[in-house]
Structure 1
Amino acid sequence: MSQVTQNSRKVFESEELMSGTEAVAHAVRLADVDVFAAYPIRPYTSVMDKLSKFLADGQLDAEYIVADGEHSQFEIGKHASSVGARAFVGSSGVGWLYAMEAIVVTATDRLPLVALVGNRALDDPGAFGVEQNDALMVRDVGWLVAWVSTAQEALDTTLIGYRVAEDPAVRMPFAIAMDGGYLTHSEHLVKLPTKEAVKEFLPPYSLGDRVLHPDNPISIAPQVNEDWVMEIRKQNYEAGKRARGVIYKAYKEYNEIFNSGYENPFFEELNVEDADTVLIGMGSVATVARSVTRDLRKEGKKVGFLKMRWYRPFPTEELKKALEGVSNVGIIDRDFAIGGPNDAAVTFHDYRSALYDMKDRPRMVNFIAGLGGREISKQEVVKMFELTEKKDTPLVNWIGLRA
């Protein structure tokens, strides 16, 4: 272990090799979470293994509740959050979907629970590999959602997620998504902040006058039907809009304390500013896409890659500004949508809609790749760049299918 200092004071306790799930566990420890609930379904479970070790070693003081299923697990997290406890849960694939009733109610009740989604293919057929459909199931019901591509980003984004979710102007649950079988298990070097520095960034959890307590009689989840549902939905809608400004503020302060260098909270750009052709993707595809982008740049090709981080709230205006002057855009979807518009995948339509009213909007194509955990190779990313540039490429393209 090596101690790391910043601005003449110690803000990092060590630098260690760890997986993405272990990095999230460290963030939960540093955030001083009060309650976490678990039910095993891989590939997310190693975060709970690490948290149990922190408890056993006296590095964390929290209630660890093993649930009888994912629905109970998320109910525990929801109710803990409602009574003023900072809470953490997680799941993957069909486990995440089994908890969907509790997941949706957590959002509509505006409770800032934080959850890890270890992206996993939906059964059947059985698959442990990554697909992103599980986390995308909550994109429109009031969850904040961000994808990470390194263990360091996983730790940072978890801490930032608590800060944003718990802000009085937001108070929405937050899902940190990472590709299962890739980032959940692969190891990276991670700088671990000191607890004192994290306390400077992340204030104590407080629901204010919304905390559920006998001394504070309030109504939670009343049956209001046509009388008040529209108004409640509008309140949640406004919170989602306010989240954008809170995200900017949180990243600014995180950068100031930890010198983390996040230039844009919502996405990362590589050679986008002068590119003719840009690919966009989320999660672990960023590693191979960045490598290919650099290789093609050395060959003189004006290509770029944009890695999305925050998917909800969606950065419409930021995306339009970043893609000004770009002629061709390819969207990489590690997900699927059966029978949707133009038979394209899930995220493609969000990007297409966001860019629709640009004066000189780029031509766009969709790539469906890496389903079930299938590797996305460098050769396939090169092919995606080539297809994005060609004017006669079909709108939707499945990459890496067997003949």
Structure 2
Amino acid sequence: MAVESVSVKSAYEREELLNGCQAVSHAVRLADVDVVAAYPIRPYTEVMDQISKFIADGEFYAEYIIADGEHSQFEIGKHAVSVGARAFVGSSGTGWMYATEALVATATDRLPLVAMCGNRALDDPGAFGVEHNDALMLRDVGWNLVWVDTAQQALDTTLLAYRIAEDPAVMMPTAVSLDGAFLTHSQHMVKIPTKEAVDQFLPPYNPKVKLDPDNPVSIAPQANEDWVMEIRRQNYEAGKRAKGVIYRAYREFNEIFGTHYENPFFEEFMTADADFVLIGMGSIAMPAKAAVKEMRRKGVKAGYISLHWLRPFPTEELRKALSRFRGIGVIDRDFAIGTPDLGGVLFHEIRSCMYRSSSRPNILNFISGLGARDTSIEDCMRMIDIVSHAKGDETEQVVTWIGVRE
């Protein structure tokens, strides 16, 4: 059904220079979140700083609760959602890990909490910069997982996350991932929507089932062998339905805000006639796109694909897209120790996706940018060069670590 949209011009109130954390805080304000649970850990902390300023300045009202740690923080968010409140939480790295028990229960209980993950390297050794392992730890337990490339996408996608998570057909928590430092702290020009336009896109949160003393129900009972299989199957079906809801949500977002998210799941750059492509997630898109342009000048038909939604995974769409190319280079900003061929997490997702393709391109893996080490344009050019010269035989090196000291 078509959306009766406001004009594109009136859908935005102003444009500001914002970093990724600030952009997410504006989305939380505009989404009229009821409960915010906060605990500071770099590099996500500024989201909560900015939200507290909105509340102090009277621009936004919410119950702002400072927890004693990340586990309590995510428990607060989980229970707020269970009583019918729209909630927001966030964390990074080891804080995300400390909250794992609450994060898993939020997913298996089908509670549509929205969280920001400022992707940060796991300790030890410590680092405040990006690795994707923190958010990736939840990829198989029932969280929708999405990565963004820019601060504008961070704002837009946070609004979309509430719409998708709270849809009655989905009711799954959603994590919006921003690369630590490279996106959480870098500034971009961001268009800020009007509250009226956001209200048109995002209806109030009104779950069919919630904890209510006047209408007692049980959420998360001890089910054991009697019902666990059936509950897991319900979660599985919700994950299947999420793809269709994502498509509808993005279409309506485009209509109201005049955006051009043609494919919600991944973005293709200079791929129409490409022979070789790189694919990655997050802020790696910037040097990768610049490298594609440079390699084009050298006569190499290269392209780049930025994957946004990892869960639900766009299997059919990505399989069709990647089958067009001769070679694929998967960039992993994560580590996965002891895996088949010793490849990264995203590499195995892509290779599994392509297993049933009738036209299987050669797929190589690049581990790069761990702990916020820079991945340069030259590094990405080297990746493209390796993919373009690959033979695809059994003697070929499948995984290459880029920018690591030997």
Q: 1:273 Cα deviation (Å)?
A: 2.5
Alignment correspondent of 2:270: 271
Please list the CA deviations of residues 302-353 of structure 1 after superposition, one character each: whole Å capped at 9, or x if unmatched: 1110000111000011101212320100100000011111111111111001
Residues 182-215 of structure 1: CA deviation (Å, up to 9, x unaligned)? 100000000000000000000000112x111012
Match of 2:399 in 1: 396
- Indicate conservation of the 8 Å contact 1:31/1:202, yes or no: yes
2:214: which partner in 1? 215
1:152 is matched with which residue? 152
**In the alignment, what sits opposite 2:245?**
246
Aligned residue in 2 for 1:280: 279
Distance 1:238 1:396 in 2: 34
Matched, 1:364 2:367: no
Equivalent residue number for residue 297 of structure 2: 298
Q: Which deviations, in whole Å up to 9, do the C-alpha atoms of 1:202-233 show, x marking residues without a partner? A: 0000112x111012211111111111100000
How many pairs were matched up?
398
Contact 1:17 1:188 in 2 (8 A): yes
Instruction: Write the distance in 2 (CA, Å) between the matches of 1:129 and 1:384.
Output: 22
Tell me, yes or no, if structure 1 residue 122 matches structure 2 residue 122: yes
Which letter does structure 1 place at the counterpart of 2:86?
R
> Match for 2:375: what amino acid?
I
CA contact (8 A) 1:171 1:239 kept: yes
Distance 1:149 1:303 in 2: 20
**1:77–1:88 contact (8 Å) kept in structure 2:** yes
Q: TM-score if structure 1 supplies the norm length?
A: 0.97
Correspondence for 2:225: 226
Q: Matches of residues 1-16 of structure 1 in structure 2 within 5 Å?
A: 7=7, 10-16=10-16
Residue in 2 aligned with 1:322? 321
TM-score relative to the length of structure 2:
0.96
Q: Deviation at 1:6?
A: 7.2
User: Counterpart amino acid of 1:225?
Assistant: N
Q: Distance in 1 between matches of 2:148 and 2:373?
A: 19
* AA aligned opposite 2:405: R
Residues 272 and 322 in structure 1, CA contact (< 8 A), matched pair in contact too: no
Identity, % of aligned pairs?
64
What CA distance in whole angstroms lies between the structure 2 residues aligned with 1:333 and 1:154?
Answer: 21
Deviations 1:54-109 (A, max 9, x none): 00000111000000000000000000000000000000000000000000000000
Deviation at 1:294, TM superposition (A): 1.7
Gaps of 5+ in 1: none
Partners in 2 of 1:44 and 1:310 — Cα distance?
20
Q: What RMSD over aligned residues (CA atoms) do the two structures have, in Å?
A: 1.1
CA contact (8 A) 2:143 2:311 kept: yes
Which residues of 2 match residues 3-402 of structure 1 at below 5 A? 7=7, 10-208=10-208, 210-392=209-391, 393-402=396-405
Aligned AA (1:302): K
1:232-255 deviation digits (Å, cap 9, x = unpaired):
000000000000000000000000
2:16 is matched by which residue type in structure 1? E
